[in-house]
Structure 1
Amino acid sequence: MTDPPATAALFPDWQPVVRDGANAAVDALVLHHGDRLEAAADGLLALLVTFEQALRAVHPWLLIVLVAGLALAASRQWTVALIGAGGLWLVGALGQWEQAMQSLALVLVSVAICLLLGLPLGIASGRSRWVRRALAPLLDLMQTIPSFVYLIPAAMLFGLGKVPAILATVVYALPPLVRLTDLGLRQVGGEAVEAARAFGATRWQLLAKVQIPLSLPSILQGVNQCTMMALAMVVIASMIGARGVGETVLVGLQRNDPGTGLVGGLVIVILAIVLDRLLQAAGRRLQP
């Protein structure tokens, strides 16, 4: 039997084109815009450090009471307040309070950036078919490409630490917010839109008074999914120097210590449950 032909003879060799083009683009970005990128990274790092220091400066019991009060005010249900307070108490009982505050600060900053970017993009996509078509392949790429692929140029631009961790979290958590905002706007009934137009509503009034309020459940679901996916990135963030709860999981993996890894995993799950219940309760109160 003859050997099968080598695959190199069957396909054109485009790998050097893609590889060298990507390397040249990153080198040009560093050469021509390195100062601006460094200034932006410093500002982002300062914001994250401010959030982290504020959370760590609050006494744990005071923060537990505040979270329970917010949960009770948002839901008017004692069960939600007890879930919030009990979850944070378990985080402290597992010895991961400081690490949890580091991860929580990273999640809050990343979700805030996602809101600033995702809501306008989702609204534009929901109101324009052409914007939706242009964003669809980009969102698909962001949801499917492995995190370590875009962490390589991020590390070259910003070095290891918290800033590339924020970048990775934003890239991973942004698509569901954009997609669900787009979906919510497109699901608003035509009767409501036509009625608003019949009463002389402008495009801005139609968006602010009709479309956004009626699509609020879908938008809030997007915020919830964005937060959950941002929290899911804490382990990846710890691998590039962001620390937090993910570092506990990473230490357990490096030392072949399943107990330590379990502790870190439980804390991540607890934070996810607390944030999910708080966001769902707030969402129910905000819905018209």
Structure 2
Amino acid sequence: MDWFSSFPHMDDDRLRLLKKSIDDGFRTFTRAYGDGIEALFSPLQSFLIWSERLLTQTPWPIVLVAIGLIAWVASRSLRITLGAVATLLLIGYLDMWMDTMRTVSMIFVCTVIAIAVGIPIGIAMARSDRLRGVVNPVLDVMQTMPSFVYLIPVVMLLGIGRVPGVIAVVIYAIPPMIRLTDLGIRLVDRDTLEAADAFGSSSWQKLWKVQMPLALPTIMAGINQTIMMALAMVVIASMIGVQGLGQPVLKAIANQYFTLGVFNGLAIVGIAIIFDRVSQAYGRRLQKHREVVHG
């Protein structure tokens, strides 16, 4: 006996009709508002082009020195700085510099957008349990939804290109930014907040002068996780026209080019390690500073 045949389910014709009506509705919406939505994202397109040109057209020694300086200022670790520079030199030696710079520019733009959108939402969640109850299930869905699924509505609305790729990456990578901002603010010691109240601080002053500085190490952990998730999405985003290290990997999969895939995959890993080590070291420095100030 087929036990599943007795399971209650929607009639096939009704199910087909439901799917067709949803698809037709989305197509109608796309035709009606697609151009307007695309125009809305033109500043993002300009930002992407500027970021990519900055990294790809600047002479490589200047970019190398700049990244080395950023790594040193953030980490104050000679080992991490030399590791970052050596990794980039190896990437350049293996002729992957331009693709790497395109990937770094995309990750930079995605991270800036995630910070600009995620931190205000995290702050609002920390201030309202009701909003947190609404947003948390949405974040759960965003984190568990297969990454390929994000590409479908974005491509239908905006077509193939860098902007839809960036939007898909941001949607995939932003949940840790929101969650850890909310968590960091909620973990601020109550006694510290009561002291701020005793000094007559307004809620705005309390947020920017007490809660945000104390939550900064946790927020930095959120930025770190957002960067890692954005890098994990690089290969998938290349399917809709995002240039960078993901496209050679995709080409290697299609044509069975083993070395091309491995080298570009290792370049993505190298960039991920640089971002991870530098941001973690900066987060630890912030944590130590907080312990010194409040210890």
TM-score using structure 1 length: 0.92
d(CA) in 1 for partners of 2:199 and 2:17? Answer: 57
- Aligned to 2:201, what secondary structure does the other structure show? coil
d(CA) in 1 for partners of 2:4 and 2:145? Answer: 30
- Aligned to 2:41, what secondary structure does the other structure show? helix
Aligned to 2:171: 171
Which letter maps to 2:181? Answer: T
Figure out how many residues of one structure are paired with residues of the other and give that number: 286
Aligned to 1:189: 189
1:127 aligns with 2:127: yes
Encode CA deviations 1:89-111: one digit per residue, 9 max, x unaligned.
11112211111111111111111
Aligned to 1:6: 5
Aligned to 1:111: 111
- Aligned to 2:9, what secondary structure does the other structure show? coil
- Show the 5 A alignment for 1:257-276: 257-276=257-276
Which letter maps to 2:74? Answer: A
d(CA) in 1 for partners of 2:274 and 2:10? Answer: 52
- Show the 5 A alignment for 1:177-256: 177-256=177-256
d(CA) in 2 for partners of 1:12 and 1:94? Answer: 56
d(CA) in 2 for partners of 1:244 and 1:138? Answer: 30
Which letter maps to 1:12? Answer: M
Q: For residue 227 of structure 1, report the CA deviation from its aligned partner.
A: 0.9
d(CA) in 2 for partners of 1:58 and 1:29? Answer: 42
- Aligned to 1:6, what secondary structure does the other structure show? helix
- Aligned to 1:92, what secondary structure does the other structure show? helix
Which letter maps to 1:155? Answer: V
d(CA) in 2 for partners of 1:195 and 1:3? Answer: 68
Encode CA deviations 1:52-96: one digit per residue, 9 max, x unaligned.
111001111221112112222233221121012111111112211
Encode CA deviations 1:131-173: one digit per residue, 9 max, x unaligned.
1001011101111111222311211111112111111100111
d(CA) in 2 for partners of 1:181 and 1:149? Answer: 26
- Aligned to 1:201, what secondary structure does the other structure show? coil
- Aligned to 1:135, what secondary structure does the other structure show? helix
d(CA) in 2 for partners of 1:283 and 1:172? Answer: 23
Which letter maps to 1:220? Answer: M
CA distance 1:280–1:3, shift in 2 (3 Å): closer
Taking every aligned residue pair, what percent have the same amino acid on both sides?
Answer: 42
8 Å contact kept, 2:147–2:233: no
d(CA) in 2 for partners of 1:17 and 1:213? Answer: 54
CA distance 1:4–1:285, shift in 2 (3 Å): closer
d(CA) in 1 for partners of 2:254 and 2:181? Answer: 40
Aligned to 2:293: none
Which letter maps to 1:207? Answer: L
Q: Any gaps of 5 or more consecutive residues in structure 1?
A: none
1:52 aligns with 2:52: yes
Aligned to 1:73: 73
d(CA) in 1 for partners of 2:20 and 2:28? Answer: 12
d(CA) in 2 for partners of 1:112 and 1:45? Answer: 14
d(CA) in 2 for partners of 1:256 and 1:217? Answer: 43
Please provide the CA RMSD for this pair.
1.9
Which letter maps to 1:187? Answer: L
d(CA) in 2 for partners of 1:187 and 1:261? Answer: 43
Q: For residue 181 of structure 1, report the CA deviation from its aligned partner.
A: 0.6
CA distance 1:15–1:71, shift in 2 (3 Å): same
Q: For residue 16 of structure 1, report the CA deviation from its aligned partner.
A: 4.5
Q: Any gaps of 5 or more consecutive residues in structure 2?
A: 291-295
8 Å contact kept, 1:123–1:185: yes
d(CA) in 1 for partners of 2:9 and 2:276? Answer: 48
d(CA) in 1 for partners of 2:217 and 2:204? Answer: 20
Q: Which sits farther off after the overlay, 115-124 or 19-28?
A: 19-28
